[in-house]
Amino acid sequence: KLRSDYLDLRTIYPTYGHMLEYIGKLAEFKLNTLVIEYEDKLPFQKMKFLCHPEYAFTMEEFQEIQETAWRNFIKIIPLQQSFGHLEYVLKHEKYRGLREIPQAVGEMCPLRQGSLELSRALLEETAALHPQAEYLHIGCDEVWSLGSSRECMESGKSREMIFIGYVNQLVDIVCGLGKKPVLWHDMIARCGEEELACLDKRVVAA
């Protein structure tokens, strides 16, 4: 039912014109959804300091991307990282203290005060910019340093249960925003049956 492609704007910088052409090409192949990981290309309104100084979309460009997708019968699924791959956020001095360990620039400690509030702010802004989106992808892949922080080590919980506990909180946030949450499956693939039983069943693993 969902025939999708994935566009990762973390490491590639297509021109605006190529973005529109690309969406039209997807329609030729009968794809009907497109997962876009905007990272700092998203035109943040409340957290403008996260916008890339050169490559972030203007609001006009962003809206035209949405409209081009709609005209080509493509539904956009926004991907907002909210656990790992947060380099563009955790590089800022304001958020450095939320890293799982100092050298893991993109990975956030889920048990540290302020982490959930940051994830909530990112997800809320992404959802607000995609009012028609049915799904909201929360990423949550490759959180390699998870379990290394003092808070995690002192929690008495396994690495897998710490992960699932935080994901469940993110799922609750996304559902509260009226979206269906999606996450990458690699971290939960390491979990046992008892641990997976604790995962909120409202999330879709991809």
pLDDT over threshold 90, residue 11: no
Confidence bin at 142 (pLDDT 50/70/90): very high
Give me 10's structure tokens: 């973390």
- Secondary structure (DSSP) of 63-112: HHHHHHHHHTT-EEEEE--SSS--HHHHTSGGGGGGBSSTT-TT-B-TTS
Confidence bin at 139 (pLDDT 50/70/90): very high
What's the rounded Cα separation, in Å, for the pair 194 and 59?
Answer: 45
Q: What is the mean pLDDT of the chain?
A: 96
Confidence bin at 176 (pLDDT 50/70/90): very high
Q: Give per-residue pLDDT as tens, 100-117.
A: 999 999 999 999 999 999
- Note the pTM of the prediction, 2 decimals: 0.96
Confidence bin at 14 (pLDDT 50/70/90): confident
What's the rounded Cα separation, in Å, for the pair 75 and 70?
Answer: 7
Confidence bin at 57 (pLDDT 50/70/90): very high
pLDDT over threshold 90, residue 74: yes
Tell me the H-state helices in the chain: 16-28, 59-71, 87-90, 115-129, 150-154, 159-176, 193-196
**40 CB-near residues (< 8 Å, 6+ apart):** 50, 51, 52, 55, 56, 88
What's the rounded Cα separation, in Å, for the pair 152 and 181?
Answer: 25
